[in-house]
Structure formats: structure tokens, C-alpha cells
Amino acid sequence: MDGRQKEHCTQRQDTSAVRHRKTCKANEGSECLSQPSNETSNGANKRIPKRGGHLDSPSKDDHVSVYTLVLVLVLSVCTLVIITLLSIWDETHFGKMGSYYINRTFFFDVHPPLGKMLIGLAGYLTGYDGTFPFIKPGDKYEHHNYWGMRAFCAALGSCLPPFAFLIVLELSHSTPAALIAASLLIFDTGCITLSQYILLDPILMFFIVGSVLCMVRFNTQRLRPFSFSWWFWLLLTGFCLSGSLGVKFVGLFVILLVGINTAFDLWRLLGDLSLSLVDFGKHLLARVFGLIMLPLFLYTTIFAVHFVVLNRSGPGDGFFSSSFQSRLIGNNLHNASMPEYLAYGSVITVKNLRIAGGYLHSHWHLYPEGVGAHQQQVTGYLHKDYNNLWLVKRPDNSDDLTGPPELIRHGDIIRLEHKETTRNLHSHFHEAPLTKKHLQVTGYGINGSGDMNDLWQVEVCGGKKGDPVKVLRSKVRFLHCSTGCVLCSSGKTLPKWGWEQVEVTCSPYVKETPSTQWNIEDLINPKLPNISLSVLKPTFLEILWESHIVMIRGNSGLKPKDNEMNSKPWHWPINYQGLRFSGVNETEYRVYLLGNPVIWWLNLLSLALFLLMLTVASLAKQRGVKMEGMRKVHCHTLMEGGGMLLLGWLLHYLPFYIMGRILYYHHYFPAMLFSSMLTGTTDRAEPVQARLLMVGLCFFFYLFHPLSYGMRGPLAHDPASSMAGLRWMESWEF
């Protein structure tokens, strides 16, 4: 090599070094751990792999991590033992919904459909025929082939510890730290209990932790943009995000976590002056495609499959609009025909346009003493029923049975007589049961006789004098002639005396809203000609939008019932109170959802320790304290890896404080996953210490394992009980 060639080679090496220093600076030091030099801070000659890269040959540490991961997977599978032949707790809901998919029967649930679809698919593929009734917890499955649905949930639950291991390993580069995080999930009685039954929780947690793992793996590909592995982890992140949201709306929290991480990543790229704005635009568009467009497409596809499979009328029909119901085989509106216009003498059902507002309904029961007038109840009922039928009469109660039918038009006055009880729809100056600023609506009189408070003026929304009332297509309001109020479905659920049906009131606020708008759904009048209702079938986007409104309102409407056990968010991190899955006495098989208290309290202690360490590290960095070697690495892990896990815990925990719906203990478990991973990242133990910790966790798991696998015999307060002495808190109910 001559002198010119030597000079050119030296310049290339210098340029490579400068480029590497620029990369380290742009990435705030996170990639500086992977500099080309083989010399560590203490001068030892050691190979340090690049983040997301590979060495020419696997190191000893790589083999240790692989062997440990296999151990984690084996232990995780072994702890999920499916033994009981009894149905428990929410299996009566989600197992039944799996049956509905097999039978193609439409139903309503407050959660998106993916979890139930997968449960139904697992049952179908393993021979379940969808015939088990799922009436109440404790019913025996007997000959029904239920095991496939449980095995599917258990398989996804067994993936949580390995996923947590890989996440913490990537964030901390410490096999003992990753092992601690995985062990906290393997030996937690709560995670085991949730994972071995037909529930949505293991499916949801699988997609949440999968989203975080894919996000972390994608972050390691920073130095290889637009490579195959870069695209693979980006698209897989989007796939898991759509799965998270497709199971429960709680998936929005992990979407927010990934969104925040992506925003910081793009901000970092924007500050890299070696990256042109065109290249930055490519990065932006790639993330929009992989993390927004792809998840939205997959999420929409889930609902498309849901609507195609559930094409038969079922128990969920009444929650949806008349046009929605017209697409369901077996529904009275499917391929039906009925008169086009409303006339006096017709028998009708009237449906509120508020989502889940219900059908106008009455029954023989009276309002209790002290709740307005002691007259017949009028409510909103969410299901089709004979008590939803009303007879439309003239204001003077005269019925001309011989003449031609007289159409009802905008501005006409009518009486509505309840078909079953013959009492009239009535209102007066008594306050409504729940909405105190509204007036009470009752059934009054008998055999059509009543008073002037039974008169209602029909108003077609957007119509004018003389416009006829069209069946299904007209939005109608009923104005009370005496008081000037308008018939309304408040959306509130009545107490047990009202059979937990929807409150119907007369609102003094006459502004047009869905709560005060109604449509005529069924109409029987032999004097009128019929027309086909096929023109009412909605488009896919319309039923997609309506289904989300119904789910959101249904979720917000889940309030605690009388004497129903619920939980508060501050209870959860301290493991204050569990949840009874089945059995209440010593003669029954009992399963109790409660986290391993040692693990949960260790997580709480580690959270406080992490905040203290983060504060100290931040102060040291602000004061310019120099940190070298592993101390610098640990500080970086705390601030970036630990910070991301802390954010995940906060996002999956704090929103429950502002939720108005009923809450249960199991709602905390997604946050508990982040808390356990944060514990592993914070407590970077040596291998020996990690093994000792695992031994301790095994011991306490042995003590509390009957909570997950079932208990019989005396309760915990009895010295003869297998749980004697383990009821460390009075609030634990086992």
C-alpha cells in the first residue's frame, strides 16, 4: 500500500469515528454503549454487542439468557393447571358469548368483540358445540367440551412471563433483572387465577405486553432504519395494538404509551441534523402507516367479521336501532313488511332514539310509596316484549271501526293505551324517580278511561303541519298537552323496584335530543297496506358507529347494584381485597382472586425505591456528577427503561380514578404487569440474589396456591383450614 492509499484509509476511519460520535449524541448516549471499541471502562478487552445487533458468535451471556428464557416458559406453563369442572364468575358471560359466535346469535356486550371471537373460535376448533347454557357460576360442565376455551386463555396467559423477561432483558441488559420480573408473574396467584379460566383478561394482557415487547424491539432497530427487522417489529407493534383495543377499550392506554414513545422517537429524529427532512418524512409516514392505519384497518376488520358471523337475531337486538335490527335473520324487522304510515287504531311499539334508551314499556307493578304518585310504572325496556305494545287512540276515546283509517300527522293529539293493562300513558306535576328536574310518567286509568293528563301531541322532528308520521323513518316527539313537557328516556337505571329498567320521564327541556326522540318500530293495522322494510338496512359504517356508541354508553352505565361487591382503585396496589370467583362456604369448591401478597407488596416497595433512585440520579445528572462504567449504564436504564415502565403503570392505573362505572379488582392486572417489570428493572440483583429471591417466591406461592387452584373444607379462620394463619388482612374473604 503506497502513502496515498494509507492516507485515504486513515480518512475513512476518522470519518467513521466522527459519524459514530454524532449518532451517540443524537441518541442521547443510548447507543454509546455499542461503540466499535472493544475496551470497557475498566480497560478490560470485552465484546459489547450493539443494541439490536448481533455478534459474530453467541457469547456465554447469550446462552444464559436463552436457557433462562426456556426455564421461564416451562415454569409459566407448569403453573397454569386447568383442574376444575365447574364454571366460575365471568365464565358465565364470556363462555356464553363464545357459544353465541358458534351459534351465530347476535348479542350485546360493552367490550369490543375480538376476545369473545377468539374464545368462540378456540371452542369450535376443539369440538365445543355451543350448547352449554352458562346460567350461573358453579354449574358443572359435565360432557360439554369446554377445555379448548380454557386452554386457549391459559396458553396466552403463559406467554406473559416470557414476554416480561424479554422486555426487561432488552431494557436492562441484565438476565437476573429479567428473571426477577418474570418470576413475579409466574408465582403470582392472581395472574394464574385469571389465566386459567374463560376470561378476557389473559387475552387482553397478552396483547398489551406483546405491544410493549414489539415497541421495545423496534426501538433497538434505530441504527437499521427501513430494514426487514425494522419493518417487522413496527408492523407487529401495530398488530398487537389493534388486538389490545379489539379485546377491551382499556387497550387505549397501551396505544397512548406507544404513541408517547413514538412522539419522543420522532422528536429525536427531527433533532438529528444528519437526517434530511425527506428522510424524516419517510420515518413519519412509516409510523403513521404501521401504528395508525394498520391498527385501524385490523380493528375495523374485527368488527366486519363480527357482524358477518353474528347474523341471527338474539338477546342483544333491543340495544340497537330499528334499522340495525332489520339486518338480523329472525328479527321481526328482517325482510318484513308493515304499513308505511301511522294511523289511529294501530297497535305499535315505540323505541327511543337514544342508544340503549329502550322501548316504551309498562307493566302491572306500581311506583313504590314516596316515589311520585303511587300509579303504574312506565319504563324503558331494552328487549322485545309483549308489554311494549300500545294502542293509538283519538283524544276523545272515540273509535270509528267502520270508516277508512285516519292517518296521524304532525301536530295531532293522541292517547296511548297500554295494550296489556289498558292504562293510558300519563304525566303530571310529580317529580321523576331519579331525574328530579323532570316529571313522572305513569300508567293511569283503566279500559281507556282517564283524564286530560293522558293527552299527547305528536310532533315530527323537522316536519311541518300536515306531515304524516312514517313508520321507522320519522323521528317523533310526544309533547304533554297539560304540562308542556316532552316524553324522554333519561338513560338512568331504576332500582330493583323498577326491575332495573330505564327511567322514562317527561322533560321540561323541549330541545330536540335523542333522549326525547322516538320512532315507531312495529305497527299492526289491518286497514293499511304494507310496504317492504328492506330499504332500511344500514351501511357498514353506520352499524360500526352505532355499535361503538352502544358499547361506550353501556360501559358508562355499569353502576354498582344494591349490595353488589365492587372495588376502589386505592385498594388495588396494596392488595387490600380480592374477588370471589366461586364458592362462599366450606362445603363448596372455592376460588378466590387475590395476588400473592409478598409479590404485590414487593412491587409497591420497589415503586417507592425507583422514585427515590430516579430523583437521586436526576439530581446527580443536573449537578454534573460524572458516572462511569456500570453506574452510568444503570442510571441510563433507570431513566429510560424504568421511566417507560413507570409511565405504562400510571397510564393503566390512574384513569380508573375518574371512571364513573363499577370497578373490580381484576381491572388492576394490566398495571400490575408494568409494576412487576419495573421491580425487575429497579432491583438489578446478582445471579445468586436472583436465585434466592426465586426460592422465596416459590415458598410463598406454595403457601397461597390454594387461592388459584381451589379450596375445600374449613374457611381460613378455622385452624383446620389449609389457609389457616394466611389471612393476613381482615378484608381478605377466603
Cβ contact 195:102 at 8 Å = no
Domains by residue range for the chain, with CATH: 60-305+573-726 (no CATH), 334-531+538-557 (2.80.10.50)
Read off the pTM: 0.81
pLDDT at 562 exceeding the cut of 70 = no
Of residues 581 and 454, the one with the higher pLDDT is: 454
pLDDT for residue 49: 41
HSE-CB of 268 using CA atoms within 13 angstroms: 17
pLDDT for residue 19: 40
- pLDDT tier for residue 670 given thresholds of 50, 70 and 90: very high
Cell of 411: 301536530
Positive/negative CA dihedral, 20, 23, 29, 34: negative
pLDDT at 38 exceeding the cut of 70 = no
- Report how far Cα 471 is from the mean position of its chain's Cα atoms: 36
Q: Locate all alpha helices (DSSP H) within 310-372, ordered by sequence.
A: 322-325
Cβ contact 246:203 at 8 Å = no
pLDDT for residue 579: 87
**What are the pLDDT digits (tens) for 347-368?**
999 999 887 788 999 999 999 9
**What are the pLDDT digits (tens) for 66-121?**
888 999 999 998 888 766 677 777 788 898 999 999 999 999 898 999 999 999 99
Q: How far apart are CA 358 and CA 491, in angstroms?
A: 8
- pLDDT tier for residue 34 given thresholds of 50, 70 and 90: very low
**What are the pLDDT digits (tens) for 521-555?**
899 998 898 888 776 678 899 899 989 988 887 88
The candidate with the shortest Cα–Cα distance to 630, out of 46, 179, 183, is 46
**What are the pLDDT digits (tens) for 367-402?**
999 899 999 999 999 888 999 999 999 988 776 666
Percent of the chain with pLDDT over 90: 51
Q: List, in sequence order, every residue forming a beta bridge with 426; answer none if it has no partner.
A: 442
Q: How far apart are CA 254 and CA 240, in angstroms?
A: 10
Mean pLDDT over each residue of the chain, to the nearest integer: 85
pLDDT for residue 17: 42
**What are the pLDDT digits (tens) for 270-297?**
988 888 999 999 999 999 999 999 999 9
Cβ contact 690:179 at 8 Å = yes
pLDDT for residue 673: 96
Phi and psi dihedrals of 507, rounded to 5?
Answer: -90, 130
Helix, strand or coil for residue 383? coil
Question: Mean per-residue pLDDT for 613-639?
Answer: 78
List the single range of 11-20, 441-450, 485-494 with lowest mean pLDDT.
11-20
